[in-house]
Each structure stands twice: as C-alpha cells, then as structure tokens.
Structure 1
Amino acid sequence: MKKSTIIVMFIAVIAKVLGFIRDITLTSLFGFGAETAAYQAAVSIPSVILTVVGAALISGIIPMLTRIMHEDKDRGERFASNVLNIMMLFAALVSAFMFILPELAVKMVASGLSDQGVIYAASFVRTFALGTFSVALLQLGTGYLNVKNSFAAPAAAGIPINIVVIIGIFLSSKSGNLQVLAYAQLFGFILQAGLILYAMKKNGFKYTAVIDFKDQDLRIMMALALPLFLSSFLGQLNDVIMKNLSTFFYPDGDKGYVYMTSATKLVGFVQGIFLVSILQVTFPTIAKNVVDGNNKMLNKSINEAILMISLFVFPAVVGFITLANEIVSFVYLRNATTPADIKAIVPVFVCYSLVLFSQAMRDLMIRIHFAYQDMKNPVKSHILFSIVFIGLMFLFGNLLMPFGHGLSGLSLAYVVAATVTCIPLYKTMKKHVGKLYLKYIRSDFLKILLSSILMGVVILLLRPLMGAFLPAKISLIVIIVIALIFYIVILVVFKTRFAMSLLATILRLEQ
C-alpha cells in the first residue's frame, strides 16, 4: 500500500501543481473580479451536480464490484458497463439542463454574483455542457480502476486538462475573448475522458451496450447508494451554501466568492495530493479485507492510513499557519492581484487549514463504514454535519463580519463541524471493526505531532532571519526546504518506525 500511495502522490503533485499554475495564471491575468468568479462558478457546476450521483455510485460500486469480480469477472464487467451507461444517461440530462437554463445553473452555485458575472458564467456554462460526459466517465472510471488496483490514471487525469486550460487562459487574455477559455476547458474535458477510457481498456474493461434497471446487482447497489446519494447531496449542498454565503458576507460579492474559492483551493492542494491519494489507495484494500474477513490486515490498513495522514497533514497545517501570508503572497500576488486581496485571503486560509486532520479522519471512517456496506451511519453523520455547519456559518459569519472576517467565520464553522462529527462516526466504526489496535501507533503518532511542532518553531526562528537577507519568494522556498529537512531528521532521530519504513520504501523506488 505504501508503494502505491507514493506513486499516486507523485502523480497528484504534478496534477495539483499544474492546477495551481492554472489558478495563479487566471487570477494574475483576470484579477479577482467578475471574469474569474464566473469561470470558477461555471466550471464547478458539472462536478457539483454529477458528484452528487457519481460519488454515491462510486462509493457503492467499489465494495460491490470487488465482490462481483471475486465471484464472476464477466458479470462484473457487464455490471460496470451498466452503471457507466446509466451515468451517461444522467449526464445527458445534466448537459441539457446546463445548455437550456444556464442562468439557473449559475444561481444554484453562486447566487450573489454581479449581473456581469452571471452573464459571463452563463456563457461558460453552455460551452461546458458537453463536459458533463467526461466528468461522468471520470467518476465511474475511477471506481473501476481502483478495484483493478490501478491508481495512476485517475490521479493523472488532471494533468492534460490543466495544461490545456493554462494555454487557454493566456490565449483568452491576449485575444480579449473569454470563449477561448471556455473552449479550452471543454477540450480539456475531452482529453480527460480519453485518458480514463484508455486506462479502463488497458485494465481489461469490456464494454457492453446495456441499460438494465432490473439487474439484481444494480438494485442491490442502488439500495446501498440511496443513502450515499443523500450524503453526497448534503456534501455538495454544504459547499454550495458556503460559496453562496461568501458572496453575502463580503462587501463585494464577486471578490468574496473568489477569495473563498482561492483559500479553499490552497488547502485543497494538500487534500488532493496527500489525503485523496491515501484514501484512494486505502479504500479498496480495506474493502477487500472486509470481504475476506481478515481483521488483522484490516487493522493494519487502518493504522497505516492514520499514520500516513498524520505524517503529511501535521507539518502541512503547521506550515500553513506559520507561513500563511508568505504562501498566499507567493501563489497569488502578481499583476492584477493587490496586497489588499492577499490580506483578505490569509485569515480565511489559516482557519480553513485547521480542518485538514479532522476531515481526513472523518473521510477515512466514512469509507470504513462503506466497506461494511453500512450507509446509514455516514448519512446520519452528514446530516449532523450539515446542521452544525450551516448553523455555525450564520453564527460565526455574523459575529466576525463587523470585524471584517465574515469569510473566516465560514471557514471556522467548517472546522468545528468536521471535528464534532468525528465522535459518533468513531463509535459506530468501532462496532463494525471490533477491537482497534491503535495503541500500536500511539508512539509514532505522538512523535510525528511533536516533530511537526518543532518544525513550526524552526520556521518562526527562520522567518525574520531569511526575510532580512533574501527576497520574499526565495526566502519562502529556502525556509520550506530547511523546515522539511529538519522535520525528516527529527523523525529519524525520534526513531519514528513508520516514517523510517516509508523512507526506505521511497529509496527502494529510486533504485
């Protein structure tokens, strides 16, 4: 599992760096105004709508397809084709909705955009309508490939689309025509679909032209997926509400939306590289161990996932907090972006970064429930999360808005809600797994936490020293490199077994 996770992380780093370059290029050339807000709102629509259905089906299909493939491979391939065709049918309906009612689609995800922002976004949405088929294929393909223990292609899917969009942003800026960017995004969607389809074929996918709603396996999965559908819906609804409220809790609605999106994308960089990669590799392994009834290996997988998450998340959070202003400035401060924009993003970024560990634990525990085909308790958790999150957003947003930190209030609400809902999830997870052997990772866990804190102290000592002699951007890079080296050395000095084992795995990969 360690080797697969490292490979996926490496590919994810490339994809996420390109995604960052895309976002930086966009805000650099178009600023934080209506054009940027319109693009970000429009490009999120296919994912928001399809993820509600797609995430439910994929979370249900991994344990389901694992079991079916174990019993009959041909039946498994037919089942995958059936689900894919149904997803494509749904994508066609979404595509028609986006093309016919683009303004309504925009209002669903960003109701506080300016009139000009809505006009720009509606034009984008019509062009992106055909991209829904790519998003649907990516959703199903990711689940199928994960069952086949193929993780590289889904992780790499973001690479071609980001390259094409970056080129599109430059051409759009030079020509003054936003539709150039829209068509670049659509072409990127097509490339993404081609990559996933090729990977599926290479891993033995046998397509069957079938749509069978009466299929017994499909009915079982749909019964499992209904609660997942509700969970996915609530998850997307929470995000939509937060982004919508960001247009009201900031004086300039367009800027509020882009500030919130920019801050969450910075944190999402770590989530996409480390957390998603770890969970993507861990979930099929956990599902297989549950199907095999191998409790010893199940506990081993859970413990490794917790330590892997801690190893990367703790130093990331410490780094985000201690270097927040420098990181946000490094990423966004150029051309059309002003110091005032940076000042607005930094506190939102700091508050939102605090959610990383609790969100990772929450996602891990939810997937463990899915492996046991328990969909009810995750739904209860999502409902509780939504109630706490939405209530706290209004509370914290209104409390902090007079001080100019309404957006930070929204981020803080997310942190508290994610942390609170971990408690009932842990209790129900323990009922499924039985005895959890967490005592075996206690020592490594504490060593990782202490190493991260000491790394933070080193960063605070280095900041004024490096800032006095080096330009801001070079200073940040030097501080990060020194801090990472110090972190690794301290882990070795503390004899952190998991970290040393992971380091040995990396060294073997290089040979």
Structure 2
Amino acid sequence: MNLLKVLAAVSSVTIISRIVGFIRDVIVASVFGAGMASDAFFIAFKIPNLLRRIFAEGALSQAFVPVLAEYKSQQGNVSTRLFIAYIAGLLTLVLTLVTVAGIIAAPWMIIITAPGFTDTPEKCALTTSLLRCTFPYILLISLTSLVGTILNTWSLFSVPAVAPTLLNVSIIGCLLLTVPLFHPPVMALAWAVITGGVIQFCYQLAYLKKIGMLVLPRIQLRDAGVWRVLQQIGPTMIGFSVSQISLISNTILASFLVSGSVSWIYYADRLMECPSGVLGVALGTILLTSLSRSITCDHQDEYSRLLDWGLRLCFILALPSAVALAILAYPLTVALFQYGKFSAFDVFMTQRALTAYSIGLVGIILVKVLAPGFYCCQDIKTPVRMAIITLVMTQLLNLTFLSTLNHASLSLSIGLAAYLNAGLLYLQLLRKKIFQPQPGWLSFFCRLMLAIIIMAATLVGLLSVMTDWTQGCMPWRLVRLMLVVLVGIVFYCTSLWWLGLRPSQFKRSLQNY
C-alpha cells in the first residue's frame, strides 16, 4: 500500500468536505451573523462535539485500533466479528446513558461551560434548548466513528473521510429550506445536525457489510478483547479529557468577553481546521493503522521509518500552510464571511483569532502525528502525562495574554501549548528508544525554510497589489483568493523542486503483513 497515495486520496476527500463546510459557514454567517443566536448554537454544538472527541474519536479509537489490528492479523473473521459486536454493544449502551443524562442536565452544563450566558436569561434558555436537541448527535457520530475506525483498519480510508461532507450538506439544506419553519430560526441548525448524524451513520454501513464486518451490537463484558480495550480506554479518556478541558476553559472565558467572541473564535477555528483536519487528521489516522501493523508484526525499523515519514510530511505541508494562513488571514475572512449580517468589525476580530491560531498550527498537527507512535504500542500513560502538563501551560498562557489580546489569546494559548506537547512527546519517543530519526533532517529543514521564504514573499507581493477585498460578489472574491493561493502553491512547489525535494522522496510503501 502506497501511503503517499492514500494520504493524497484522504486529503483530497477531506478538502472537498472542508470546502462544503466553508459554504455551510458562509450561509450560517450570512443568516445569523455573529450574535446571540450563533453564539448559542456554537456553544450547544460544541458540548456534544467535545464528548465525541473524548469517547469516540479519542479514547475508544486509540484504544480500539491496536487491538482490532491484532485481531485482524492473528484471529479469524469469526473472532473479529464477535469482538466488533461486543465493542459496538458497549459503546451503544454507555452513550445512550450519557445522552439521556446530557438532555436532563443541559441547563447545568450551560452554566458550567458558558457561565457568562447566565447574565442573559434569553440567551441561556436558547442555548439549553439547542443543546437538548443536538445532544443525541453524540450517539450517532460515535457509532459513525466506530464504523469509520473499522473501515480504516481494512484500508478503506476514503470512505470515513466522506462522512463529514454529509453533515455539512444536511446543514446547508436545512438552512436553505427550513429556517422560516422554525421558531426561533436557529433551531433549524440543531435539527440539521441530527439529520446529518443519521445520514453519516447509514452511509458507512454498506461498506461495513462489504468487508463482512456488519454485526448487531452485543453486550459481553467478559470477553478478553473487550477487557483489553477497557483497560486502555480509562487512561486514554483521561488524556483526551485533559485536551478538551482546554477547549472548555476557553469557552468559559470567551462567554465572559464581548458578545460575538464565541462566534469569532469559531469562524477562525473553522479556517484553521482546514489544514489541521486535512493534514493532521489524515496523517494521524493513516499512521495509527500503519504503525499498529508494524508493531503487531514486530517490525521496529518499519515503525521508525513510518513515523519519520509522517514528521517530514507534517513539516513540508503544515509549515507553509501556517505561514500562508497568517498572511492571508484578512482576505480569507473577507472572501468567505463578510456578507449579510457579518460586519467589517466581525472580519477584523475573526482575523485576529485566525492569525493567533496560525502560529500554533504546526504544533497542533505534530501532536496528531506523534501521539499514534505511543497508542499503537498501547502506551497510553505517556501521552496522558504530557497532556496534563500541556493543560497547565495552556491556562498559564491564557492568564498571561487574555488582558491584552482578549479573544485572540484563547487561540494563541492552545497553539503555543501544542508545541510544548509535541516537544515532550518527541523527547519521550527518543528516551524510550522506540523511534530512531532517519538521517538528513538538517539539509531537509534548510531547503524547506528557503522555499517557505520564497512563497511568503510571493504572497506578500501579491497582496500589496490586490488591496480592496471587499469589492465584488462572493464568486469574484473567491476567484481572486484562489488565484493568490495557486500562485503561492506554484512558487512553493517550484522552489522545493529547485532545491532538490522531490515527491519520490516521500513515497512509502507498507507491505500487507
């Protein structure tokens, strides 16, 4: 399996999903602007999303994949199907209870996660209603993530990557067709989320049947495989909970800031998630599955080469993305969001948050590349310890910058702390002697930095002659923006080629052990 081709395929599908997601956000921004309704929805939607990251895409996925890879390579189909059925049953039971509890406790959850909203009873009541409507999404998306994890283990990486597009299409459809039918209108977004969750789950079931792993959930806590996952899932959940506490803390702080702060951070986060999702999630997903295979087959050299491959790709893709994101923060925000109720002031405040996010983008993606190096070895405790240290640093940075940078400080602190997390994880890999970097890093970095400088100079030069981004309709703004981006990509890729960095150097093949 050529991992570079797999990465390109997954990234391409993810890019399409992000584009559809941007269209969704443009419509949301145009219809609701950055005010009480949008703040309420983003808070309500963030809570089930945080739990999703902890339960499904976080703890369960990282604990489940190494054991599933072992079953796939060493056990028969019957044992593997039973193992999947038991895990699906356990997940369904736990998340059904969590969903019911969340719906009942919604008012108290709003008080905890957005205490600043309590000063405005109408805003607090609206957020509570939206949260109760969206909370079942955690069950739907968690089952979707479980199915996606299984498909990834069978190397069907592109199928789960399509799923987020279906959610975005659902939201767009509801925004265009059903907003006038709801009171308040923002409730249309909540029901769109539930509809999208159902579609995402059902879409992947056909592929699960194709590989012969479509089974009914069963409850069996005495199974040895289930117990192995449960033993790993506790520490993993702590680690992912720690990382989500930073986001909850930022939400709490943002709720006390001026109205619109939650929305400005959300829109900046959406722009930042394009490179972090396309690169970080794709690399992390592929590496976790591939590294797990290497460890299962006791191929230590292959493990080191795979992780080194992931790190180099991270730098060659994430570093120029971060620089370009900072330089293009203003035209990006104007071209995508400055329509309808989204004002020039909203653009300025979103730009500040986006610039702050861009500083830490590389660190965020590095963590997603390095962490699978521990999870595939079923070493959960090391990432947890590093995450706790990172959490403390994030809060210290919040206290340091909040008074001067306001909402932008919340974006900056997460990124800076991510560099600390990545550095600690890398040092632990070296200390445990499970990873050996390949030669040539100094030469690689020197050539990479020169290519990025050339790209940055090109982008700055283009922006100096394309000054007024508020003129024209959305298609015209996007055409101008895409022209600038394409020229930057051409100059960057040409510089890499001229400096001797070729795509062939990043081709990695993984045998089917």
Matched-pair identity in %: 19
Shift of 1:138: 1.8
Question: Does residue 251 of the first structure (1) align with residue 245 of the second (2)?
Answer: no
* Unaligned runs of at least 5 residues, structure 2: none
Pair 204,446 (structure 1): closer, same or farther in 2 beyond 3 Å? farther
Shift of 1:105: 3.1
Q: Which residue of 2 aligns with 1:115?
A: 121
Say which of 66, 70, 78 aligns to 1:67.
Answer: 70
Say which of 315, 318, 322 aligns to 1:310.
Answer: 315
Alignment of 1:347-426 (within 5 A): 347-398=352-403, 400=404, 405-426=405-426
Alignment of 1:27-66 (within 5 A): 27-54=29-56, 55-66=58-69
Question: Does residue 492 of the first structure (1) align with residue 494 of the second (2)?
Answer: no
Shift of 1:429: 0.9
Tell me which moved more, 460-469 or 482-491.
460-469
Structure 1 CA distance for aligned equivalents of residues 293 and 505 of structure 2: 24
Q: Which amino acid aligns with 1:119?
A: A
- For the residue of structure 2 that corresponds to 1:32, the secondary structure is coil
Question: Does residue 91 of the first structure (1) align with residue 95 of the second (2)?
Answer: yes
Shift of 1:311: 2.2
Alignment of 1:289-328 (within 5 A): 289-328=294-333
- For the residue of structure 2 that corresponds to 1:205, the secondary structure is coil
Structure 1 CA distance for aligned equivalents of residues 178 and 226 of structure 2: 44
- For the residue of structure 1 that corresponds to 2:371, the secondary structure is helix
Say which of 224, 241, 244 aligns to 2:232.
Answer: 224
Q: Is this contact kept in 2: 1:369–1:375, CA < 8 A? A: yes
Shift of 1:90: 1.5
Q: Which amino acid aligns with 2:172?
A: I
Structure 2 CA distance for aligned equivalents of residues 496 and 288 of structure 1: 29
> Scaled by the length of structure 1, what TM-score is found?
0.92
Question: Does residue 6 of the first structure (1) align with residue 13 of the second (2)?
Answer: no
Q: Is this contact kept in 1: 2:55–2:142, CA < 8 A? A: no
Shift of 1:237: 1.4
Q: Which residue of 2 aligns with 1:197?
A: 205
Shift of 1:29: 0.7
Tell me which moved more, 444-453 or 273-282.
444-453
Q: Is this contact kept in 1: 2:318–2:362, CA < 8 A? A: yes
Q: Is this contact kept in 1: 2:280–2:368, CA < 8 A? A: no
Structure 1 CA distance for aligned equivalents of residues 276 and 224 of structure 2: 36
Structure 1 CA distance for aligned equivalents of residues 300 and 248 of structure 2: 39
Q: Is this contact kept in 2: 1:137–1:196, CA < 8 A? A: no
Structure 2 CA distance for aligned equivalents of residues 469 and 9 of structure 1: 28
Shift of 1:292: 1.5
Q: Is this contact kept in 2: 1:467–1:475, CA < 8 A? A: no
Q: Which residue of 1 aligns with 2:486?
A: 481
Structure 2 CA distance for aligned equivalents of residues 51 and 115 of structure 1: 29
Say which of 144, 148, 152 aligns to 1:146.
Answer: 152
Structure 2 CA distance for aligned equivalents of residues 442 and 246 of structure 1: 41
Say which of 214, 218, 221 aligns to 1:213.
Answer: 221
Pair 31,468 (structure 1): closer, same or farther in 2 beyond 3 Å? closer
Tell me which moved more, 239-248 or 462-471.
462-471
Q: Which amino acid aligns with 2:212?
A: G
Shift of 1:172: 4.1
Q: Which residue of 2 aligns with 1:100?
A: 104
Shift of 1:421: 2.5
Structure 2 CA distance for aligned equivalents of residues 108 and 148 of structure 1: 40
Tell me which moved more, 95-104 or 16-25.
95-104
- For the residue of structure 2 that corresponds to 1:350, the secondary structure is helix
Q: Is this contact kept in 1: 2:170–2:196, CA < 8 A? A: yes
* Unaligned runs of at least 5 residues, structure 1: 506-511
Aligned length: 496
For residues 35-92 of structure 1, give each alpha carbon's deviation from its aligned partner in whole angstroms, at most 9, with x where no partner exists: 1112212222222223322211110111111112222132222111111111111221
Q: Which residue of 2 aligns with 1:460?
A: 460
